[in-house]
Amino acid sequence: MNTDSFALRHIGPRPENIAEMLKTVGVDSLDQLIYETIPDNIRLQKDLDLNEALSEQEYLEHITKLAAKNKMFKTYIGLGYHQSITPPVVQRNVLENPGWYTAYTPYQAEIAQGRLEALLNFQTMVADLTGMELANASLLDEATAAAEAMTLLFAVRDRDQKKRKAVKFFVSEEILPQTLSLLQTRANPLEIELVVGNHEEFNFSEDFFGAILQYPGTSGRIYNYAPFIAQAKEAGIKIAVAADILSLVKLQAPGNFGVDVVVGTTQRFGIPLGYGGPHAAYFATKEEYKRNIPGRIIGVTKDLDGNVALRMALQTREQHIKRDKATSNICTAQVLLAVMASMYGVYHGPKGLQYIANKVHRSAAELTDALEQLGYYQENDYYFDTIRIKTNAAKIKEVAEASEINFYYPEEDTVSISLNEATSLTDLNNIIAVFAHVAGKASIKVTSLEKDIIDKENVARDSDFMTNEVFNKYHSETELMRYIKKLERKDLSLNHSMISLGSCTMKLNAAAEMLPLSYPQWGNIHPFVPIDQAQGYQEVLKKLEDQLTEITGFAATSLQPNSGAQGEFAGLMAIRAYHESRGDHHRNICLIPSSAHGTNPASAVMAGMKVVVTKANESGSIDVEDLKEKALKHKDNLSAVMITYPSTHGVYESAIKEITQIVHDNGGQVYMDGANMNAQVGLTNPGNIGADVCHLNLHKTFAIPHGGGGPGVGPICVAKQLVPFLPGNPIIKTGGENAINAISAAPWGSSLVCLISYAYITMLGPKGLKSSTEHAILNANYIKNRLEGHFTTLYSGERGRAAHEMIIDCRPFKEKGIEVVDIAKRLIDYGFHSPTVSFPVAGTMMIEPTESESKEELDRFCDALISIREEISTVVKEEPNNVLKNAPHTLKMLTSSDWDFPYSREKAAYPLPYVSDNKFWPSVRRVDDAYGDRNLMCTCAPMEEYM
Ligand SMILES: *Cc1c(COP(=O)(O)O)cnc(C)c1O
């Protein structure tokens, strides 16, 4: 046996455990289990056509060689992306720390107070800098955030009688090109009419409901938007502003002008460029729109003892509850990046940010001076970091590239230069030397940064920001390191115990997969550099696309979408474009089974489709008769069906081929939600079952860590007929021949983290991938059999097997007054994160162990559930003062001199022997959700409240 194979590291059960596990499951071999699990008619007949596995060492050598193919030019392209400096203390303690990057979305607030606090800091920082009342905890990128702003303003327009029928949205021609492309993508299906123009010539007519401005403009110009905004307000037109967050340190906050929404990216707050992402976008707005905000909002509330506690607020806006009426389809956001940006804010504080913003601005001003002395004309009268030189762009480009410098060349006679935090005096002088050379003059040297053209103008910021204690306290590294550790310790992540969230696939995020993310040759590449400077990336992205295409059995892949939900939207938009290309403009019905994930209906609505819900039968599978009836009924207008496979109930439906056939026969396309791909890789695939497109969640099946709620990557893989419609980008050509407009801002989405999935596939190879799927199925069935007699499992396949996940029914315990959340919270006392609660069936838990968990960990988890089951049997409804209702138990409770609970402290905190060996303490008692929503507070308390 090759003990150095990565598969042995990735897959949890040891070879010597397998026999016993199979015995528990009741089969003789893994092959028999798979035979009993997956219907024969969809099994793949041969192994995946992928390269043989590399060892970890071989992979690291391979990826280091590829890294050298990315050219490390000094890049001043700007356009929403700027080199920034990740504080090393943040890089090491957050980005490279599994305590942070392996956490899940903070649904279990009691064991997530650390990242919730970091996200509250993020919201506070954004609200302060933008001058708005509240901010969310991240969107996917600036362009999608701008599109969300447009749809929010569209959704609230009917609050104004005069605007009920308005469908026009004004877009300043100063908007970033990728943002415009995304606005087009999103406007079209909603029948919003975009009007692009010069804001100074806008006529404020009746039929506009909103407008968006860029601040500063793409050209770099700073406009005084106050008169425009005042006039728009008078005309009842709502205003969104896309603002550069670093510029806001020096410029008037847009909130001061009374705008409705401010969006942007926080990339330049310490986040690597990563050839396009991932980065956290922000979205800030007024209190009056709080129920319309897209994405996650963190709010302050209290726990059972009245202590301050944090949680995700206003969840009733979100897709998992509101489905087709949700405010957006956002599920996975960019939590890890928002945490990093917030820590950048904590590290620098307001004074540090001022220093950086001044440095960047003064570099631009000094550069302008020097270039003017050389005889060049600089066009922008007011600017923050971006200047425009009128000259022969081709000549400059030639000399600049020879000096390993990238500028942006928007026109033949224009060179645009955006400076950043990392630009040194030497860099400035190198830029000047390029221009001097072209002018045939001796260069000029800048020796200090003095000139400032903003400070004395009316555009200069005159309000304080980030005055809270947290931004003014941790400025020595020791203090910050300990603050980050303090928060980390409050959160349960995969480096503590299994997180068996059904549908979320919390598998190992191996160190070898993660290491290259820290290499500057991967981190420091701007998404719009010429392709020939990013050959390392191009190779990795192409190979990953090919690998995913092979794994899904399709014809091509687009890596652009930044989450599963964005993949759904992208796939549906490709389907829409396909129908339209055939003249079928009327096809707009989307069939979605009732058991579908909430993002499915939310995405369908965004794609301009009408959702028709189809029934599930009592075994949890799609009711084929009902589906057939509805497909027939809508056959003239059928656009698509969205199905999840194996089903959200964890069953490989054997009727799947019949289902896809019915939809095809009625003119529809089949969208497969690939969240459950961990049950398919190497054994079957979406192409094989007759789907036309699927998204994959690379942050589930393909080992990108969840990051506490993002980043994610949601590529779509498509059959031949949909390839021409894969999404494009307005700056770097990508996508199909008839590409739909952009789905994400960057051409290849979140390229940096694509390295992780590439590593995963490359180190597992065809055999390791298949073996992973088999072991995922083994682990789930092992749990199912171990829990037998204690919990009822809902739904299983025709031969009685679970797929890669399984559902246990907790509804019968209601008669004892025990709800599923009590079990979820009691699991915390046992050191475990709860499985998925109440999806897809209310009152149940969906358990997905993944292949990465060892037999020992599965046993601890099963022992915990069985022990909880025994606890349930001892409680009575009339006496809710019990160990389940009071869970989780904090150290503070346990060590208090008052203990008047009818059970021992030991039972509360150490219910099984293994717990005391590695106890995890929740930092608060059960949080009060209702109180938090009633008293919404989404920023850190101001300084005074700490005094
Ligand atoms: C996770 C999930 C999604 C959404 O994916 P995100 O990356 O969170 O946007 C969609 N469908 C199912 C079944 C899922 O489990």
| Residues 485-508: tens digit of each pLDDT | 999 999 999 999 999 999 999 999
Does residue 503 line the site of ligand 1, with CB under 6 A? yes
Query: Going by CA atoms, what residue is nearest to atom 15 of ligand 1?
Result: 503
d(CA 722, CA 672): 14
Distance between alpha carbon 657 and the CA centroid of its chain, in Å? 32
* 8 A C-beta contact, residue 302 and residue 309: yes
d(CA 112, CA 496): 13
Ligand 1 atom, smallest distance to 699 CA: 7
| Residues 247-267: tens digit of each pLDDT | 999 999 999 999 999 999 999
Q: Quick one: which H or E segment has residue 414?
A: strand 414-418
Helix orientation angle between 751-787 and 535-552, rounded to the nearest 10 degrees: 30
Task: Name the token pair of 258.
Answer: 């009374």
Using 50, 70 and 90 to split pLDDT, how confident is the model at 574? Answer: very high
| pLDDT value for 944 | 52
* 8 A C-beta contact, residue 336 and residue 484: no
| Residues 533-553: tens digit of each pLDDT | 999 999 999 999 999 999 999
Tell me how far the alpha carbon of residue 697 lies from the centroid of ligand 1, in angstroms: 7
* CA-to-CA separations, 168 to 259, 328, 605, 851, in angstroms, rounded: 18, 20, 19, 51
Using 50, 70 and 90 to split pLDDT, how confident is the model at 320? Answer: confident
Mean pLDDT of 611-634: 93
Task: Name the token pair of 244.
Answer: 């550069």
Does residue 113 line the site of ligand 1, with CB under 6 A? no
Ligand 1 atom, smallest distance to 673 CA: 11
620: pLDDT strictly greater than 80: no
- Strands of the sheet containing 669-674, edge to edge, are 556-558, 716-718, 693-696, 669-674, 638-644, 589-593, 610-614
Nearest to 261 by CA among 353, 347, 136: 136
| Residues 344-379: tens digit of each pLDDT | 999 999 999 999 999 999 999 999 999 999 999 999
| Residues 697-727: tens digit of each pLDDT | 999 999 999 999 999 999 999 999 999 999 9
Does residue 174 line the site of ligand 1, with CB under 6 A? no
Task: Name the token pair of 708.
Answer: 């506490």
d(CA 244, CA 238): 20
Does residue 673 line the site of ligand 1, with CB under 6 A? yes
Angle 11-336-294 from CA coordinates, rounded to 5°: 115
- Which are the contacts of 277, defined by CB distance < 8 A and separation ≥ 6? 141, 527, 562, 711, 744, 745, 746, 749, 750, 751, 752, 753
Decide: helix, strand or coil at residue 232.
Answer: helix
Nearest to 631 by CA among 609, 674, 661: 661
- Which are the contacts of 424, defined by CB distance < 8 A and separation ≥ 6? none
Tell me how far the alpha carbon of residue 775 lies from the centroid of ligand 1, in angstroms: 22
- Residue 673 bridge partners (DSSP): 644, 695
Tell me how far the alpha carbon of residue 349 lies from the centroid of ligand 1, in angstroms: 36
| pLDDT value for 918 | 95
DSSP secondary structure letter of residue 221? B
Burial annotation 573-604 (CB, 10 A radius, 16+ → b, else e):
bbbbbbbeeeebeebbbbbbbebbbbbbbbbb
947: pLDDT strictly greater than 70: no
Ligand 1 atom, smallest distance to 568 CA: 10
* CA within 13 Å, CB half, 586: 5
Helix orientation angle between 113-130 and 335-373, rounded to the nearest 10 degrees: 30
Does residue 717 line the site of ligand 1, with CB under 6 A? no
Tell me how far the alpha carbon of residue 503 lies from the centroid of ligand 1, in angstroms: 8
Using 50, 70 and 90 to split pLDDT, how confident is the model at 936? Answer: confident
Phi first, then psi, for residue 557 (nearest 5°) are -135, 140
d(CA 822, CA 833): 13
Ligand 1 atom, smallest distance to 596 CA: 13
* 8 A C-beta contact, residue 748 and residue 766: no
Please give the share of the chain, as a percent, with pLDDT higher than 70: 99
Mean pLDDT (the chain) is 96
Distance between alpha carbon 281 and the CA centroid of its chain, in Å? 10
Instruction: State the SS3 of 380-407.
Output: CCCECCEEEEECCHHHHHHHHHHCCEEC
Query: Going by CA atoms, what residue is nearest to atom 8 of ligand 1?
Result: 332
Ligand 1 atom, smallest distance to 329 CA: 9
Out of 331, 651, 837, 848, give the residue to mutate to test ligand 1, the one with the largest number of ligand atoms within 8 Å of its CB: 331
Does residue 701 line the site of ligand 1, with CB under 6 A? no
* CA-to-CA separations, 224 to 204, 383, 459, in angstroms, rounded: 17, 11, 7
| pLDDT value for 322 | 78
Does residue 704 line the site of ligand 1, with CB under 6 A? no
Mean pLDDT of 616-636: 92
| Residues 759-774: tens digit of each pLDDT | 999 999 999 999 999 9
Do β-strands 408-411 and 414-418 pair in parallel, antiparallel, or remain unpaired? antiparallel
Out of 140, 334, 335, 503, give the residue to mutate to test ligand 1, the one with the largest number of ligand atoms within 8 Å of its CB: 503
DSSP secondary structure letter of residue 469? G
Query: Going by CA atoms, what residue is nearest to atom 5 of ligand 1?
Result: 564
Tokens 């079957």, residue? 684
Tell me how far the alpha carbon of residue 917 lies from the centroid of ligand 1, in angstroms: 35
- Residue 720 bridge partners (DSSP): none
Does residue 217 line the site of ligand 1, with CB under 6 A? no
* 8 A C-beta contact, residue 115 and residue 453: no
Nearest to 77 by CA among 774, 903, 731: 731
| pLDDT value for 705 | 98
Tell me how far the alpha carbon of residue 698 lies from the centroid of ligand 1, in angstroms: 11
Does residue 697 line the site of ligand 1, with CB under 6 A? yes
- Residue 80 bridge partners (DSSP): none
Percent of the chain as helix, strand, coil, to the nearest 5: 45, 15, 45
946: pLDDT strictly greater than 80: no
Does residue 342 line the site of ligand 1, with CB under 6 A? no
Tell me how far the alpha carbon of residue 566 lies from the centroid of ligand 1, in angstroms: 9
Task: Name the token pair of 521.
Answer: 């040759």
Phi first, then psi, for residue 696 (nearest 5°) are -115, 150
- Residue 417 bridge partners (DSSP): 387
- Residue 411 bridge partners (DSSP): 414
Tell me how far the alpha carbon of residue 567 lies from the centroid of ligand 1, in angstroms: 9
| pLDDT value for 945 | 55
Within 38-97, residue ranges assigned H as helices are 56-67, 88-90
Query: Going by CA atoms, what residue is nearest to atom 7 of ligand 1?
Result: 564
* 8 A C-beta contact, residue 518 and residue 686: no
Do β-strands 556-558 and 716-718 pair in parallel, antiparallel, or remain unpaired? antiparallel
Angle 153-155-161 from CA coordinates, rounded to 5°: 90
Does residue 564 line the site of ligand 1, with CB under 6 A? yes
Query: Going by CA atoms, what residue is nearest to atom 11 of ligand 1?
Result: 597
Tell me how far the alpha carbon of residue 330 lies from the centroid of ligand 1, in angstroms: 9
d(CA 151, CA 322): 16
Within 279-379, residue ranges assigned H as helices are 319-322, 335-373
- Strands of the sheet containing 208-215, edge to edge, are 134-135, 281-285, 261-265, 238-243, 208-215, 168-172, 193-197
Ligand 1 atom, smallest distance to 565 CA: 9
Tokens 């919990």, residue? 791
Task: Name the token pair of 239.
Answer: 């205003």
Out of 328, 592, 697, 700, give the residue to mutate to test ligand 1, the one with the largest number of ligand atoms within 8 Å of its CB: 697
* 8 A C-beta contact, residue 779 and residue 679: no
Domains along the chain with CATH numbers: 39-54+520-765 (3.40.640.10), 771-932 (3.90.1150.10)
Does residue 599 line the site of ligand 1, with CB under 6 A? yes
Helix orientation angle between 855-874 and 15-25, rounded to the nearest 10 degrees: 40
* CA within 13 Å, CB half, 801: 29
Helix orientation angle between 624-633 and 656-665, rounded to the nearest 10 degrees: 10
d(CA 853, CA 10): 9
| Residues 10-65: tens digit of each pLDDT | 999 999 999 999 999 999 999 999 999 999 999 999 999 999 999 999 999 999 99
d(CA 711, CA 699): 8
Q: Quick one: which H or E segment has residue 177?
A: helix 177-190
Tokens 């059928």, residue? 638
Q: Quick one: which H or E segment has residue 590?
A: strand 589-593
942: pLDDT strictly greater than 70: no
| Residues 807-856: tens digit of each pLDDT | 999 999 999 999 999 999 999 999 999 999 998 999 999 999 999 999 99
Bond before 88 cis per omega within 30 degrees: no
* CA-to-CA separations, 5 to 13, 54, 855, in angstroms, rounded: 14, 8, 19
Phi first, then psi, for residue 674 (nearest 5°) are -90, 15
Q: What is the DSSP string of 238-286?
A: EEEEEE-TTGGGTB--GGGGT-SEEEEE-TTTT---GGG----EEEEE-
Tokens 């996200």, residue? 119
Q: How many other β-carbons are positioned within 10 Å of the β-carbon of residue 391? A: 19
Out of 296, 332, 671, 836, give the residue to mutate to test ligand 1, the one with the largest number of ligand atoms within 8 Å of its CB: 332
| pLDDT value for 321 | 75
Out of 328, 651, 673, 846, give the residue to mutate to test ligand 1, the one with the largest number of ligand atoms within 8 Å of its CB: 673
d(CA 40, CA 247): 60
Angle 696-700-705 from CA coordinates, rounded to 5°: 125
